A and B are shown apart, each in its own frame.
Chain A
Amino acid sequence: MFEYAMRKIVNAIPILIGVSILVFLLVHLTPGDPARILAGPEAYEEDIAAIRERLGLNDPIHVQYWRFISSAVRLDFGRSFRTQRPVTQDILMRFPNTLQLAMVAITWSVIFGVGIGVYAGVRPNSIGDSLSMGAALVGVSAPSFWKGLLLMLIFAYWLGWLPASGMGESFFSADGLKRMIMPAITLGTGTAAVMARMTRSSMLEVLNQDYIRTARSKGLSERNVVYRHALRNALIPVVTLIGLQLGVLMGGAVITEQVFAWPGVGTLVINGINARDYPMVQACILLIATIFVVVNLLVDLTYSLIDPRIRYN
């Protein structure tokens, strides 16, 4: 196991380096001079030159990359072009909000998605199966921003049950919980749908295995067969999906946060792109991509614990 884990960790390092290079190049591939953007439209050439010197933009590119990466590992991404505050400070303030949203979304989508998947999987080709899988496909096919607006229209404007947007003072207050409901449903619906389809497919495969037939022929109750024998094995591929989907949710949060004016990292990315605030965009994208890689690594390791066959292949 240790050897397997080390191999996986070592494999992740070049990917992280590659990600950092791409994120670094973001500024250098973009047309326009970052110093000019920072200085503003009416700045003198001398001021722009001074800013170029201060940012080190005259240095060779590998020197600039080294400076970028050595600062990044110390969580120093410079100052935001827009707010002039340290980028890390802004991100640290917003990141917990995005994480909170993503965690609530993944939790409900796993519970709901796996539940629906098991329900459909044990009664294939029934009306319930067709209806739930049809609904899952609609869930996958509807764009998240539209689902968010639809929820907002129905539950905030027509029924008046939930606040339309914004984040509460605290997640653990009644207001905070109410404000979390619609963004979490919006963000998690696609994941729940994918999860339901995957669980159904996995259940169908497992329920056709010989050991399930043996369990049934021993006279075990159907409930016992499904939940104690089939579900455990059917959930193995679902674990991988949870990890992959967490990354997808972190990316998807960019859109959901815009819909519900949720003060998270996604909003920082979009504001950053619109204002050409490159330090902010670089830091946010690097953060989300790094989380994606690390979560996938953790999923790989968890997967090998749940299913030991993986380690030997």
Chain B
Amino acid sequence: MNVLIRLTRHRSARVGLVCLALIFGMAAFAPWLAPEGYDDQDLMIRLQPPSSEHPLGTDQLGRQLTSRIIWGARISLQIAFLATGIGLVIGSALGLTAGFYGGKLDRFIMGLMDVLLAFPGILLALAVVAVLGPGLYNVMIAVGISGIPRFARLVRGSTLSVREKEYIEAQHALGARDLGILIKHILPNIIGPIIVLATLRVGTSIMQAAGVSFLGLGAQPPLPDWGGMVSQGRHLLRSEWWVGIFPGVAILICVFGFNLLGDGVRDALDPRVRIAKKGQGPKEEAATPS
């Protein structure tokens, strides 16, 4: 509860929450907020500039950009949460196993994770899409896979520091099963850093997925994927700039919101920040969502 209070008092987190409220609101109330469906075409009003009639303008098929961006929030959040979820679940399971059992299994799992980490995030996602083929769900899987080693590394480190504690030894002595110890006793004690990474990874996932879509390998038209919309607008940039620029603003607000929230969650969960605020010097780490 204290954490939630600290989070709502955190200035950056509050700004982040406002940004995210906007995006989540768009996703939840799209049918009511969007003036039209995301693929409602009217060639008579193609490429209209922003005006009171067409707030963010129209694209080359006469579709309202306002509607497409609002509907697009659903796709972006879907990609973000599913992709982060894949990384979180598989990465945490691997990290817990490696950290808890140690030995050869640890070396094998972490060796595999080191190999995955040798690929820059976007490149790994592209390699996976090259195998699976373009498409919305394949992008989610691709971005999710690129998140696995980051979660695995973090969870393994935290597990290593917790598994030697006396309360874990006590569980072993009581004859508890390994799975029970992992889920009931280790996981709750290392959940803080996992939440922080997950919050920051959501922003990264949105950005990576948008990058893959921009390259034409993500969600296929007519789905209103923000990255794909920027890509469709780039060839019209000289004269009809709004087609490519406004969907990018939506990506920016969304990722910005998650990054600010991630900073806030990290500070709220980190006791060192509270000590720092009491006069021992401020403490801030850099979020590196790439």
With A146-B252, A254-B122, A258-B215 as contacts: A204 and B286 at CB distance below 8 Å:
no
Q: Is residue A159 within 8 Å, beta carbon to beta carbon, of the partner chain?
A: no
We find that the number of chain B residues with CB closer than 8 angstroms to chain A is: 54
With A144-B211, A157-B237 as contacts: A288 and B120 at CB distance below 8 Å:
yes
With A138-B256, A145-B230, A157-B237 as contacts: A204 and B281 at CB distance below 8 Å:
yes
Which B residues touch A26, using CB under 8 A? 127, 130-131
When the two chains form the complex, which single residue of A15, A152, A205, A269 contacts B283, counting CB atoms closer than 8 Å?
A: A205
Q: Which residue of chain B has its CB nearest to the CB of A194?
A: B288
Query: What is the bound-complex CA distance between A26 and B230, given in angstroms?
Result: 29
Query: What is the bound-complex CA distance between A124 and B283, given in angstroms?
Result: 11
When the two chains form the complex, which single residue of B116, B130, B282, B287 contacts A140, counting CB atoms closer than 8 Å?
A: B287
The residue in A15, A145, A190, A293 that gathers the most chain B C-beta atoms within 10 A of its C-beta is A145
Q: Mark A147-170, 1 if CB is under 8 A from B, else 0.
A: 001101100010000000000000
B59 to chain A, nearest CB (A): 15
B126 with A143: CB separation less than 8 A? no
Q: Is residue A55 within 8 Å, beta carbon to beta carbon, of the partner chain?
A: no
Q: Which of A201-229 contact B (CB under 8 A)?
A: 201, 204-205, 207-208
Q: Which of A268-287 contact B (CB under 8 A)?
A: 269-270, 273-274, 281, 285
Q: Which of B23-73 contact A (CB under 8 A)?
A: none
Q: Is residue A292 within 8 Å, beta carbon to beta carbon, of the partner chain?
A: yes
Q: Is residue B141 within 8 Å, beta carbon to beta carbon, of the partner chain?
A: no
When the two chains form the complex, which single residue of B111, B129, B214 contacts A145, counting CB atoms closer than 8 Å?
A: B214
Which B residues touch A153, using CB under 8 A? 237, 241, 245
Query: What is the bound-complex CA distance between A258 and B207, given in angstroms?
Result: 16
Which B residues touch A198, using CB under 8 A? 286, 288
B227 with A143: CB separation less than 8 A? yes
With A137-B256, A205-B281 as contacts: A289 and B118 at CB distance below 8 Å:
yes
With A274-B216, A289-B123 as contacts: A255 and B283 at CB distance below 8 Å:
no
Q: 11 new A-B pairs (CB below 8 Å) besides A144-B211, A145-B214, A157-B238? A: A22-B127, A140-B288, A143-B211, A150-B245, A200-B284, A205-B283, A208-B281, A244-B288, A255-B211, A281-B127, A288-B119
